[in-house]
Chains A and B, each alone.
Chain A
Amino acid sequence: MTTASETAVAPPEPGLEPGPVTRKPSLRRALVPYWLLLPGILWLIVFFALPLVYQASTSVQTGSLEQGFKVTWHFQTYWDALTDYYPQFLKSLLYAGTATFLCLLLGYPLAYLIAFRAGRWRNLLLVLVIAPFFTSFLIRTLAWKTILADGGPVVDVLNTIGFLDVTSWLGMTEGNRVLATPLAVVTGLTYNFLPFMILPLYTSLERIDPRLHEAAGDLYARPSTVFRKVTFPLSMPGVVSGTLLTFIPASGDYVNAELLGSTDTRMVGNVIQSQFLRVLDYPTAAALSFILMAVVLIMVTVYIRRAGTEDLV
């Protein structure tokens, strides 16, 4: 930001703590960005980066609450944590993956509808997409207990159309109930993270020039071909950020599994939470948390590389 005209006297820079007055103005100008960055970045370093370091060191400690924990480079903890809790790990990835896929399946038509066919209803529909956030996330998750209640209308309908037979065969439900089954957990996860899928999808669909559709049609492409060859490839950035914004929070979530599931549907988040807050086995919990972070970061990095996008918003 250099401008042609500099005023002769440089008053202190606005909105930040001025450096020591002894410095030359030019040097002070060069330091402006650092003064702007300092407080916020320091906050992130101390309360985001440093905790990760502490967590890494905790994961290789041994000891107990009574004797205190010591760093003994005990990497065995990682192996034990994995062998003890790999079912919950796999369940996390499975449920989060399924929920992400369902979000894409359900969210795409709605994003498409808002982007291309909503006309003057567009703003209202967008507000409706974020409307769920207007009520506390936990209250809404509890509402699913009412919706999926045993013998309630929803379960009855699903029973009648044979849907529950299919899900039982898939191992997602047991008998004729939905609550406290994997299906309920996946339903909750899908519901809670659906807006995070729809919004980036909508943003990328909205950028598509509708004339491209017309052009494809003029070149005798069938609607399905237009979608396959034009719309979907162009919406890829939205698909990438939508799936990430859904999968990442879903993989670590333990609220849905706790409120809508049973002991058989525990995810890795539930294990970390109970190890940390109830069992107080910090090394195991830290190791699990670290593994989860590593898995997610590796997946995200590979995925972003493959898709070649960096703007996630």
Chain B
Amino acid sequence: MTNRATATIHGWLLLLPAMACLALFTHWPAVASFIESFHSTPKARRPARFIGLDNYQQMLADPIFWKAMSNNLWFALGTIPTSIALALLMAVWVNDRIAGRTLVRMAFFTPTILPMIAVANIWLFFYTPQYGLLEQITGLFGARSTNWLGSQDTALYAITIVAIWKEAGFFMIFYLAALQAIPPSLGEAAAIEGASRWTFFRRIQFPLLMPTTLFVLINAVINAFRMVDHIFVMTRGGPDNATTLLLFYIYQVGFSFWDTAYAATLTCVLLALLALVAFVQYGWLERRTHYQ
């Protein structure tokens, strides 16, 4: 019994430094955001007071919030399937003995290593009207000038493409690892059965890659709500909020308008979305034995 008590003290002492930091910078802020979302923003002469669901009502009536939500949804729909499909294609390609395999693999992975804020500068140039790279290429075919980032019709696509370019090579790594973990005997057996290359992929490789796809998918969903660095360089949410994503809007409300209570309300929405992802992941991890 005393042994058990000592073990508990030892255990918690070892956990203490990490737990204290997590409590201070993860658990408490999450709870505090929730509490604050029911209060007004404190002003110099007027401290925060309880206002119930007012912030949430304001949010539901806020066109920019809905714009940010729908932008984020389209951004997620644009980035997630495309980057995962490209990652799978890249992994299958660089898993085979193609010419220049090492160089190709490096080329795909390089964007992962580069700071988004730095490469956003380069992409900004690509999209620049009149003399940008994209403009010069479309100009060769006689297309008329387009302000890719300045037009409401194209700005969100433009930043979505940057995100796909940044992520696909990162996800490729996980698919590549999973492909290499598939026993070669499966391929031999399938070949003896006379299965075509496509059948082998569709019926054997792809199902075996399912856990990887789920892992990548969850990462992609979280990233779709986290990735805002390039917006700071390329559009700052514009034109007319066409590229405002949820996290960028939280930043604007909290740090440009200093409406901290409303920012906390928006944070709660983001946390709820992430909790939903966590819920799905938990359901999946439950069935994965290697996890324990």
Whether both chains belong to one complex is answered with no
Residues on B facing A (Cβ under 8 Å): none
Residues on A facing B (Cβ under 8 Å): none
